[in-house]
Structure formats: C-alpha cells, structure tokens
Amino acid sequence: MSLVAVVALAEGCTFIQPETGDRISACVDGDSDPANAIEFKTRIRPLMNGEKPGTKGCAACHYSTSPNQAGQEGLIATQLDLSSLRTLRNGGVNTRGTIVVPGKPCSSAIVQKLRGTANGARMPKNGPYWSPEDIQLVADWIAEGANGGDDE
C-alpha cells in the first residue's frame, strides 16, 4: 500500500483531529440498537433545539425561524436551515443530496460534521461537541431510513 493510501485511510473515518474534539471511534453504517427505533421529533429535534442541558444545539446559527437572524452564521454561510426536517433534508450549498443519505449514516454530511470528519469546522461550531451517544442517535435514525414528517 502506498503512503498516500495509508494517510488517506488514517484520515478517513477513524479519528478526528485532536484540536476539534475528543477522539471518537470509527464510523459504522449499521444500526447500533435495532430494537429501539429513533424518532426524529422526540430524540433528535430537542438536541438540535439545544433543549438538553449541557448540549449545544444548532438553532443559534442554522434556524431561519430564529428571531436573531443576524447571528445565523451557518445559515448565512451555507443556507443549511435546520429549523424543520423538511429544510434539513434540503441540505446546504455543499451538502445538497448528501446531508442525509438514508441507510448510510457514515456517508451523511450531518453525521460527518457532528463527528468532525467533514471539510470545515466540526459542528456545533466551536463546541462543546455532542457526546458520542447523541451523535449515534442521529446515525441510528439515518441507518433506520431517516423517517419523519415535514413539521419535525
């Protein structure tokens, strides 16, 4: 194997850069807990809204519905609007078509950004970053088909 291939593999999905957060294990496309179906509305929406104590949400920077539009730096930079599941599915300028790939969490840009393995900053930008368990909820929801309706 060439050195280039080794470096590419090492940077792929194994560990994130030390300056962007904790080391997390390799991404796995399977559902980590098939007995428990993850509902977007009740399990993931509250995390994005910042409703879980100690967890930084996405609303400060990616919500078209926020009263503070001037501070919406993620929305302004990429058009990614996480204020509804419908707009989330549209992705942003760099993630249209890849934001959520049903059945493939490791190929889904939202999981890559939460893990810190995508281009640009790890999300939520400047941290604190989500726990591996909370990121896994998003991964499992996608592994299960990324279901849910417009108002979620």
Q: Provide the binding-site residues for ligand HEC, judged by CB under 6 A.
A: 48, 57-58, 60-62, 73-74, 77-78, 80, 82, 91-95, 109-110, 113-114, 120-121, 123-126
Q: Which is nearer to ligand HEC, 9 or 51 (CB)?
A: 51
CB of 74 to ligand HEC, least distance (A): 3
CB 109 within 8 A of CB 91: yes
Q: Which is nearer to ligand HEC, 34 or 126 (CB)?
A: 126
The DSSP secondary structure of 59-120, one letter per residue, reads HHHH-TT-S-GGG-HHHHHH----SSHHHHHH--TTTTTTS--TT-GGG-HHHHHHHT-SSS
CB of 24 to ligand HEC, least distance (A): 15
CB of 19 to ligand HEC, least distance (A): 14
Q: Which is nearer to ligand HEC, 31 or 117 (CB)?
A: 117
